Structure 1
Amino acid sequence: MQIALFIEQILNGLQLGVMLFLMAAGLTLIFGVMGLINLAHGSLYMVGAFACAAVAAATGSFWLGLAASLAAAAAAGAIMEVLVIRRLYDRDHLDQVLATFALILVFSEATRWLFGSFPLYLDIPPLLQGTVPLPGGSRYQLYRLAIIGVGIAVAVGMYLLITKTRLGMRIRAGQSDRDMIGALGVDIRLLYTVVFAFGAALAGFAGALVGALQSVQVGMGEPVLILAFVVIVIGGIGSIKGALVGAILVGVTDTLGRFLLPQLFGLMMPPSQAGLVGGALASMLIYIVMAVILAVRPQGLFPAMKG
């Protein structure tokens, strides 16, 4: 049973990792292409979750809710970029932080005004309900496995988009020399809006997927945003490959730390104290890993190539 429980925790770590990848991939694109620190990215995660919950409740279809999460988050991201973010590209990072923090408050209060202060709930679609057997005799939730599969599919799709398409070529060129591609006739303002909306859609998609595992509530994006920033720092700013590897590393490290450390300390102290000490150290573990990686590779594991 311990082996089965360990496998289950590995899968939980992978599920957390691919969810973080969906958040971090858009965030690292935005920062890599535009040089913008966007603290409101977690609010787009929340927008996607609320859109999915509201449409699913109105129509009875989780799949329509999922489509609505993509559309709502992308639209919110595009509007935010045109009205606010566009004015921040040439400003100091402190101005970007202050402006996007203000957007967090705007999104939170607007969501509270529209949906109220009580959480919403999403049901797992019937197609993905149930469990699958694991080695060792336990069973694992099918929906969580589906999230892992979707995350891997999105990662492959993003790789093909960035490396094989004209849009991807322009995004990579924007990372290297935005002035040059503007001089070559590319509408840089439109490119920025498209990239921002795409990143927002990924965040909203992540929020919708996770909304079926937990309550959908105001402020749900901020804790995930912190982990997403850790992911892109570990993986390398502007790197999709780095975002994927960093997300998996953070997800598995965080999950296994919370599972194994209390048991490890339980060998040396009473269970109540072991739980407190192990839990406290587990919450710091991903930041310790980040510090170690940055000490060895200050640019992250897979920094985006320039030039």
Structure 2
Amino acid sequence: VASKRAGTPSPGRPAPPPAFPLMVVQADHEAGVCAGFLVVAEEGVRIHAGPSVVSEVLDELDCGAVFTTVLQRPLQTKIDRDEAEWARLTAEGSEEQDRWVMVHDGDGRPRVAPASYIEGYFACVAHSDLQVAETWEPGSPVVREIRPGQVVNGIAQFEGPDGALHMVLDDGAWTVAITSKGKVNFAPAQQVTDNYLVVAEKGVLVYDNLSGHPWTTRYLPYGRWVCGAWTCEQEDGSAWLMAASGEWIPISDQDEDDHHLLLPGVDIDTHYVNVCGIALPIRQGVRGGPVVGKVGPGEIAHGE
């Protein structure tokens, strides 16, 4: 059973490995299909040798643990005398020892749920702070909040009885990825280490978050460099860069014909000599801006 620990990434720094590794139940892969499950019971679950709480306990899994198994088609289930539903985790005819898990208790509350193992980084695109709770269940104690624009490490998702898509984070806490009304709260994010150059002649505005109602924090003029930490593509196709400062900057503008606002660059820190025999202009920016100086024949220029 994996231990719980915090692991939310900071801007520009990767998060530690997820606290809940993928646990694979050995089974005959030719007998069925692979399926993923997420433990959603707050107290965790036990894997039994039979469909009963009095049968031998083979394993214990914490809330938030993700595991896969191979199932026959359809899933073999049984209802015990307490009206709890059990699922068999080993394929029929397999030489492995039978393994059973309680899917719903006698009151109908889910204990494990079909899940998608996602393990990746996600940027919060909600308009306001999102609550992070100890469990997925309504009324669960809130442990912290996720700010709009903040990047988190998600491990698995499952659709709850309320129709919302719940996501367990790398420290075992829970949040809502998509609400029951279909509102998307997160978009996939990719970590980057590149510096980006502002290539939009009008410059770009810098925002405090990725939501539909961000605040402008400052302006970056044409030709300015910015250190990148994360990139994110929203549902509308727009691409965004999180700077090392934690602010967000649009990489592209869907309303412009030449829609690139930022382009990645490479640090070179190298000296160059002009071998052309004529003076070369030094321009402000990369698209034919005004001449601000010259490098004469044989002169050395420092490229950053």
TM-score by length of 2: 0.22
TM-score by length of 1: 0.21
| Higher relative contact order (CA closer than 8 Å, sequence separation 6+) | 1
Which of the pair is proportionally richer in helix? 1
Which of the pair is proportionally richer in strand? 2
Larger radius of gyration: 2
